[in-house]
Amino acid sequence: MSFQKIRSSRSLRLTLRFVIPLIVIMTLLAFLVVPLVDNLTLRWSVRDLDMRAKLITNALQEPIGDLLGQGNKTKINSLLTRATQDERLFALGYCDGQGKLLYNTQTFPRDLGCTLPSSSVHNTPALLQLPQGLVHVAINPLLIEGAPSGSLVLVHDMSFVERRSTDTRKYIVILFAALCLITSLITVLVAHLSWRGWMSGVRALLRGDGLIKPFDKSSNSELQPLVGDLRALLRTIDSERRIADDVTLSWNPDALRNLLFKQLAGEQIIVVSNREPYIHTKGQEGIEIHRPASGLVTAVEPVMRACSGIWIAHGGGTADYEVVDKNDHVRVPPEHPEYTLRRIWLSQEEEKGYYYGFANEGLWPLCHIAHVRPIFRTGDWNHYVEINQRFADAVVKEAEREDPVVLVQDYHFALLPGMLRKAMPKATIITFWHIPWPNPESFGICPWREDLLKGMLGSTILGFHTPFHCKNFLETVDRYLETRVDHASSTISHGGNLTLVEAYPISIQWPSPWQESQPGIADCRAYVQRSLNIKDNCLIGLGVDRLDYTKGILERLRAVECLLESHPDMIGRFCFVQIAAPSRSVLEEYQTFDARVRALASQINLRFSSEDYLPIHLKIEHHEPEDVNRYYRAADVCIVTSLHDGMNLVAKEYVAARDDEEGVLVLSRFTGAAHELYEALIVNPYHIEQTADALYQALTMPVFEQQARMRSMRSMVRDFNVYRWAARMLLDAARIRQREKLADRIGVQL
């Protein structure tokens, strides 16, 4: 079949999609209108005949009165007969005062007397169905010399009404057919013109894609409300298509390596973060190695294992300096080295100003709606600038070429992308902001807001967890900087650079590194019960967090207290384990929070504990990931009540650990994970009673419902794991690099 025939066939199908529903609707309207018009015609005709009957009665009143006085029966009948020569007047009769028919024409119906018939048609007493057809009957009193003297019975032929109704139906059908034809032609014409406009707009989006050729807002204005969503959908479809073309297996390190080999073959990948993936400390038996409790490390470390690149981070362990070589390098992971860790050294004063000061007393509470006032000091800002520059210098030194792919992690390095852009203009810089981004009004509190925004716009790609955070950032830049912000394509043009702002929901490693070696569910439960002295029949709730005021730990403990108050039967049958890794304990706000958590836990234990029962088990200490995984597998319910969070990977880690497909997740609506794990019990952590009710629902949930919910969540975490997260960012980076290289070649040729 030729292209023209295919196109004609598609055009015909499109036309029929508009015309057929229109014909059906117009036909239904016609069927509804015709009975209505018939009814109105009949009512109008009856009213006209009633008026006509009164006029005839008035005209015959005087001559009939004279003839009645003479008693001339022949002349009376002759008068009535002459009156019926009117084509519509079918019969006439005269009745005396006692209701007796005295005179009538030959056509007068035999069954009709001096009163209206008891049986009528169309619910109208004046209408009577005779063998001759439908007739109208009117009985009007006669006044002779001002006094009542019998009545005149008038019978009108209604056949003309039926003829009129038939003509009306015909005209209505013709009218609706004409309207249907005209409306169809107009609809099809407008539809084709609109479709051509929409298709032109979509083609423009596909050609421009917001990175090389911006979309022309002056054309296809009707597309503007959907342009942003359409662009995001097209980018996602393109990424998924590329992924489907390159990967046929489930997402794992090998799949990511294969993908990177095809898309970024020979490219150097450098990760920059404040927190290092491995910490070397001095212990009683020598140097010990720990992995920090960090969502960033959980997400990024598997990517580095797959990429075999360089990770630049702050070396803060007590034995970190002793294990590096002369270039401050150490190969990790210790048991099977796969990438290089480059450590940056900070003095206590620098760490206090850059990390504890500006980053965690300023930016952290600024970006989290946790009701803690941000603190900004000029000295902290100066250290922040200095350390960002030190990391930028380290990236330049570690770069083996002028255009590496640099992954900048989190709010500690808002200035780093701009510094790298100046030093390495051809580098592809991907910045991922692991925490929420506030609205423009909140961000306006920061005294150095313009500097931070300019630094971040040095990025080629700027990633956030959710589209809502992307929207907040675009609006913030639009408010405070002179830039060209294209909300439709989610791009920002500033200083000759174009930054793509995109949502990349972060995830975790799947399968977990302990998939093959982890103990069974029963063994993990027995281990937790034994270590915490928990009875066998006691249900276990779990919370895993850093000891941070944004995690809603106080609200969580209050919900447990509310549960025990409202459901006394749970006392002795439910205990809650809170694992809280110490964090930023040198800051006063965190010290105060630590004391409040301990005090509340003690208060609840004092109130509800017994000789062999402790409701709250508070473990403020560091736990290795393998140990946390045992708690995940032992817990009947995991509670995540963050007051504001970017994603929160604890929720996904709990889901991944439950290969028995049991257990329930209670999840705060203020986490990014709540937009993906719909089968969790979503709560508002500020509503203590609601959280307590959800906790009780989780503890009493039937196993089949637990399995249905957990099975769905595990499927989502499996399909959208950390390797897929990294692949989306790196594929976008590869696409941009290819376009830039093509643009450079064209520029050289010209």
Set out the domains of the chain in order of their start, with CATH numbers: 3-165 (3.30.450.20), 270-346+388-503 (3.40.50.2000), 521-719 (3.40.50.2000)
Q: Of all residues in the chain, what percent carry a pLDDT higher than 70?
A: 86
Judged by average pLDDT, the poorest of 91-95, 219-223, 247-251, 643-647 is 219-223
pLDDT band of 216, cuts 50, 70, 90: very low
CA distance 25 to 2: 35
Helix and strand counts by DSSP (H, E) for the chain: 22, 23
DSSP code for 87: S
**φ, ψ for residue 701 (rounded to 5)?**
-70, 135
Q: Amino acid identity, residue 684?
A: N
Residue 487, pLDDT above cutoff 70: yes
Residue 212, pLDDT above cutoff 50: no
Query: What does the buried/exposed string (b/e) look like for 362-392 if buried means 16 or more CB atoms within 10 Å of the residue's CB?
Result: bbbbbbbebebebbbeeebbebbbebbebbb
pLDDT of residue 434: 92
pLDDT band of 213, cuts 50, 70, 90: very low
Residue 437, pLDDT above cutoff 70: yes
Helix (H, G, I), strand (E, B) or coil at 136: strand
Q: Amino acid identity, residue 610?
A: S
In this structure, are residues 679 and 717 in contact, taking their beta carbons and an 8 Å threshold? no
Segment 88-118, tens digit of pLDDT: 788 888 888 777 888 888 888 877 777 776 6
CB atoms within 10 A of CB 85: 7
Segment 690-717, tens digit of pLDDT: 999 999 999 999 999 999 999 999 999 9
pLDDT band of 455, cuts 50, 70, 90: very high
CA distance 385 to 448: 11
Distances (CA, A) of 574 to 79, 538, 608, 635: 107, 5, 11, 11
pLDDT band of 683, cuts 50, 70, 90: very high
In this structure, are residues 615 and 578 in contact, taking their beta carbons and an 8 Å threshold? no
Segment 606-642, tens digit of pLDDT: 999 998 899 999 999 988 888 999 999 999 999 999 9
- Averaged pLDDT, 577-592: 91
Q: What angle do CA 331, 334, 337 make, to 5 degrees?
A: 50
pLDDT of residue 485: 92
pLDDT averaged over every residue in the chain:
84
Residue with structure tokens 């960090």? 294
Model pTM above 0.75: no
Q: Helix axis angle, 625-634 relative to 649-657, nearest 10°? A: 70
Residue 268, pLDDT above cutoff 50: yes
Distances (CA, A) of 528 to 365, 430, 517, 548, 621: 35, 41, 18, 24, 16
pLDDT band of 242, cuts 50, 70, 90: low
In this structure, are residues 362 and 354 in contact, taking their beta carbons and an 8 Å threshold? no
Residue 459, pLDDT above cutoff 60: yes
CA distance 672 to 645: 7
CA distance 174 to 154: 37
pLDDT band of 1, cuts 50, 70, 90: very low
pLDDT of residue 27: 74
Residue with structure tokens 């794990």? 677
Residue 731, pLDDT above cutoff 80: yes
In this structure, are residues 465 and 676 in contact, taking their beta carbons and an 8 Å threshold? no
pLDDT band of 236, cuts 50, 70, 90: low
pLDDT of residue 15: 63
In this structure, are residues 213 and 231 in contact, taking their beta carbons and an 8 Å threshold? no
Q: Which of 193-197, 254-258, 643-647, 709-713 has the highest mean pLDDT?
A: 709-713
pLDDT of residue 387: 96
Residue 125, pLDDT above cutoff 70: no
- Averaged pLDDT, 141-146: 76
Alpha helices per DSSP H over 545-610 = 553-566, 588-608
Q: Which of 60-69, 620-629, 660-669 has the highest mean pLDDT?
A: 660-669
Sheet holding 637-640, edge to edge: 616-619, 574-581, 539-546, 637-640, 664-668, 681-683
CA distance 364 to 667: 22
Q: What angle do CA 625, 516, 293 make, to 5 degrees?
A: 10
pLDDT of residue 211: 38
- Averaged pLDDT, 551-580: 96
pLDDT band of 245, cuts 50, 70, 90: low
Helix (H, G, I), strand (E, B) or coil at 37: helix
- Averaged pLDDT, 209-233: 48
pLDDT of residue 637: 98
Query: Closest Cα partner for 589 from 275, 413, 360, 303?
Result: 360
- Averaged pLDDT, 79-88: 76
pLDDT of residue 195: 61
Residue 168, pLDDT above cutoff 80: no
Handedness of CA 647, 649, 650, 652 (dihedral sign): positive
Segment 280-326, tens digit of pLDDT: 998 888 888 888 756 667 777 777 877 788 999 999 889 999 999 99
Residue with structure tokens 């394509």? 489
Q: Which residue would you say has higher pLDDT here, 194 or 280? A: 280
pLDDT of residue 250: 66
Residue 237, pLDDT above cutoff 70: no
Segment 490-532, tens digit of pLDDT: 999 998 899 999 999 999 888 777 777 889 999 999 999 999 9
Q: What angle do CA 411, 409, 546 make, to 5 degrees?
A: 70
